[in-house]
A and B are shown apart, each in its own frame.
Chain A
């Protein structure tokens, strides 16, 4: 029989151990392939989304003022050298008359110059014809909108705008959800002049630009910068937009990436342990092979082949696991990133990489045991089978080397973007985990002694014997305990980050919104529409505060801004000031000429109370505002926190046309009756009312979905760790069959024998929990301080600590079940056979 066949026989000889290891490898490879595929799928989805968004345009110039880019600016753009196509577009959200006035019934209206637009955005029509003229009252609508509202070519739509409703005739229907990925597929494209008539804006929302062949985006951008001097704008190339989309998913990708790495890392522990045990167990056979003339190289290869076999089967199984995971992951990413591109499924390159990494890690993990095997002397064949000689035990120094090697492999195999984005933190986390693992067997002794004190009252002998068995093989103990510690640490660390994120999200809204209910509009509502008065007139409403969110340009950078009524905030006691006097600052806001900045922006821009900021405006003259205060957190707007300005500045120089949010505060105790009344009033005004709790709930729910995924991954790591415990305890029982037989011969009962093993598991679980929680808190602190959230307001994640303790104990006790069964069934007579 060839050595390879013998290797396979050895793998098959311990089916449970091989099976557990294969599962461990499969989980690691599964998570890895899902994580890599996610990256690839997201990239595809992003480029598809970008293509949908900008079509063939090379550059997009967007306005960020409410009134848009002026005709003068559009004309300037036309004259820039190398610009061949200029597609000016007006984009607005509105309602179609006849469709119930809810947000779900809202549509996105694009006003376009048909010729230029179609040149840059080729549309596929399922019916009718494209728009032809710039002034004709016609429209192309998406198939999805047509289907939901029953429109066909020839139907008449009535678009509601600022003035009188404008009727347009449907001339074409665009396949599927149309070009605007964010518009949930309900888009109406009308000629530019029609849109202007409906909405009466001063300018266009954006201008898409096609460049002549040979003209680079960079040259065009610098020439545009020279021309457009009177209005603030944002210039974006498709690459920029893709980068922005990518950034919105970067955190999830990085986190999933390093969770995958950790699972693989824990999986490597399992493999090292298994191969190491097998080598120890087979020392006699190996000695015999050596005595019979096998070379060291042959022995080395013999062990690696066995491990490779496990790696191969495990990796193959891992692909199935990976597919399942990718569906789960895709769902969470979609929930978080908000773009509907499908991202499930595995991608071939990722599969290949995951397979290779799985194999490489398995073989790398088997390296040290293989070397030890190759050093087994032929005289081992003569030794008594259960003599624990040094050659059978793994050494920690080797373990360190192998684990470092695995880390390097992981870093190399990782997509470079993810390494660079989170490399520092991931490395710090790795180091913490590695140090914890390698020191765990030394900590285990004293810690187990302390933890054993209460246990020894219950199960004296079992406790004594169990504790002693950990000293038998330090590296095995390190790996088993290390895996458990890592799994539990993940539970604690992720739980902590999730808790902090939720806490921040909830506190944030409560701290900055001066109301119990938030009423939003999809369009700015001018003060003269008396909407505020209508809402304030609802019985039980104490105050209604109008808020407008918009963008501003500061030193060429886009920043989020909001117009608020300072007096309302003062009265309602919102906003926590870290700098400046709250009464003075809020009064200054209402007087005009002042701004309140959030601490994050103050830090980023180096602003202090009394500093002045200069905002670029469409008027040509910049608006100068004095910083009246710095607040801990401000109103969420766009992707970040808004700089707060007063309504006089917003309506005056900045050119905001109205409020899009009303914060409504109820009279104390009146919420129950006032809420339904308010909500129905809001509906009649085409507004959407949401209780603050519901908004908070939505935020925490989105967070919950993402962290749920992370928790699932942490549980997988824990599962792998539990497999390791089964393996180690099982091996301990096998090694001690004779000891157990002896104990049984002198009067130990079956239940005592099984209790001995369970106690061993329990001690592992207890020590693992203590260490896991400690390490988890360290890792959590690293993660929180990386995201800047590690400050005085952080509270310990007691529920996660409790969960980790429960999981740690439960998994170790469950894991010890089978080995304890084996121990209780040891046949005395057979155990006492000496040869």
Chain B
């Protein structure tokens, strides 16, 4: 399988008053098309920073990100905007939705931003499709405050995949949810990967979430410490991952 997304020796430093925080200290990785990759690590280890660089939301201090064969780490704002609009999808931990828009409008937002009418033709079909995928039929006209948190996150997943992005980037999408509800989101992600070969990069600090992935990269202090290959498994059991982490002392 060809690598769809590559990171080469990424570093990221943030100025914090007079001092500097080194969030990433040289990260290299490859994501294959259709792969479900998890980035796992404790809070503050640099996961979100890495994900932002991979999705073109921010620029690395040094190193480069190659997406579909093109270096995206030095794009202009307009180019990065186009990339986000057309090639990537994002799901965040919370506040993924625009409160005043209903479910359908929120999901169709990427189309609307691109100047297309989400209520017409192909776009309408795509919206309908992803609503079915995340099992929200019947709630199309609800506003975000009329949905449970789990449902809100499913809307976010639907919105992220509606444009059929090359890669879906999710930052702790289950971080605010209880175990069962979190499972619904992960199931939805997994289905997209399984059914439409969606490439996914999932950031999480939770081994049970990471266990949905084909492969897990363990991050500590801005570096990749370990790579654990789990393979595609329908049961998503966390036991092998936890055992392996224990084995390497993490």
Give chain A's interface residues, CB within 8 Å of chain B: 384, 386, 388, 460-461, 464-465, 468-469, 471-472, 738-739, 742-750, 752, 828-829, 832, 834
Q: Give the residue of B77, B84, B86, B112 whose beta carbon is less than 8 angstroms from that of A745.
A: B84
Q: Is the CB of B77 within 8 A of A750?
A: yes
Q: A372: shortest Cβ distance to chain B, in Å?
A: 21
B114 within 8 A of A: yes
Do A746 and B84 form a contact, CB below 8 Å, given A465-B98, A828-B57? yes
Chain A residues with Cβ below 8 Å from B115 are: 460
Do A746 and B109 form a contact, CB below 8 Å, given A465-B100, A471-B100? yes
Q: Is the CB of A460 within 8 A of B77?
A: no
Q: Give the complex CA separation of A247 and B123 in angstroms.
A: 72
Do A747 and B77 form a contact, CB below 8 Å, given A742-B92, A742-B95, A834-B95? no
Determine the residue in chain A with the shortest Cβ distance to B55: A745
Q: Is the CB of B100 within 8 A of A468?
A: yes
Chain A residues with Cβ below 8 Å from B55 are: 745
Mask, B158-182, CB within 8 Å of A = 1, is 0110000000000000000000000
Q: Give the top 7 A-B pairs by smallest Cβ distance, nearest first.
A: A747-B85, A468-B100, A749-B81, A747-B84, A461-B112, A829-B58, A828-B57
Mask, B45-65, CB within 8 Å of A = 1, is 000000010010110000000
Known: A745-B57, A750-B78. 9 other contacts (CB 8 A): A460-B117, A461-B109, A461-B112, A471-B100, A738-B95, A739-B95, A747-B110, A747-B114, A828-B58
Q: Is the CB of B100 within 8 A of A746?
A: no
Q: Give the residue of B99, B100, B109 whose beta carbon is less than 8 angstroms from that of A743.
A: B109
Q: Give the complex CA separation of A469 and B101 in angstroms.
A: 11
Chain B residues with Cβ below 8 Å from A739 are: 95, 98-99
Q: Is the CB of A745 within 8 A of B90?
A: yes
Interchain residue pairs with CB less than 8 A apart (9): A460-B112, A460-B117, A461-B109, A464-B105, A469-B100, A742-B92, A747-B84, A747-B86, A832-B57
Determine the residue in chain A with the shortest Cβ distance to B116: A460
Chain B: number of interface residues, binned into ranges: 20 to 34
Q: A446: shortest Cβ distance to chain B, in Å?
A: 17
Chain A residues with Cβ below 8 Å from B105 are: 464
* Contact residues, B81-95 vs A (CB, 8 A): 81-82, 84-86, 89-90, 92-95
Q: A578: shortest Cβ distance to chain B, in Å?
A: 60
Q: Is the CB of B98 within 8 A of A748?
A: no
Q: Give the complex CA separation of A465 and B100 in angstroms.
A: 8
B113 within 8 A of A: yes
Chain A residues with Cβ below 8 Å from B100 are: 465, 468-469, 471-472
Question: Which residue of B81, B89, B94, B109 has the most chain A CB atoms within 10 A of its CB atom?
Answer: B81
Chain B residues with Cβ below 8 Å from A742 are: 92, 95-96, 98
Q: Is the CB of B101 within 8 A of A468?
A: yes
Q: Give the complex CA separation of A213 and B117 in angstroms.
A: 93
Q: Give the complex CA separation of A376 and B67 in angstroms.
A: 49
Chain A residues with Cβ below 8 Å from B99 are: 388, 739
Determine the residue in chain B with the shortest Cβ distance to A745: B90
Q: Give the residue of A384, A743, A834 whose beta carbon is less than 8 angstroms from that of B113.
A: A743
Q: B15: shortest Cβ distance to chain A, in Å?
A: 13
Q: Give the complex CA separation of A743 and B110 in angstroms.
A: 8
Mask, B4-28, CB within 8 Å of A = 1, is 0000000000000000000000000
Do A744 and B98 form a contact, CB below 8 Å, given A461-B113, A829-B58? no
Q: Is the CB of A832 within 8 A of B92?
A: yes
Q: Is the CB of B96 within 8 A of A747?
A: no
Determine the residue in chain B with the shortest Cβ distance to A829: B58
Q: A449: shortest Cβ distance to chain B, in Å?
A: 14
Q: A602: shortest Cβ distance to chain B, in Å?
A: 63
Q: Is the CB of A747 within 8 A of B93?
A: no
Q: Give the complex CA separation of A178 and B110 in angstroms.
A: 82
Q: Give the residue of B78, B85, B101, B117 whose beta carbon is less than 8 angstroms from that of A746.
A: B85
Q: Is the CB of A750 within 8 A of B81?
A: yes
Do A834 and B93 form a contact, CB below 8 Å, given A460-B112, A745-B57, A747-B114? yes
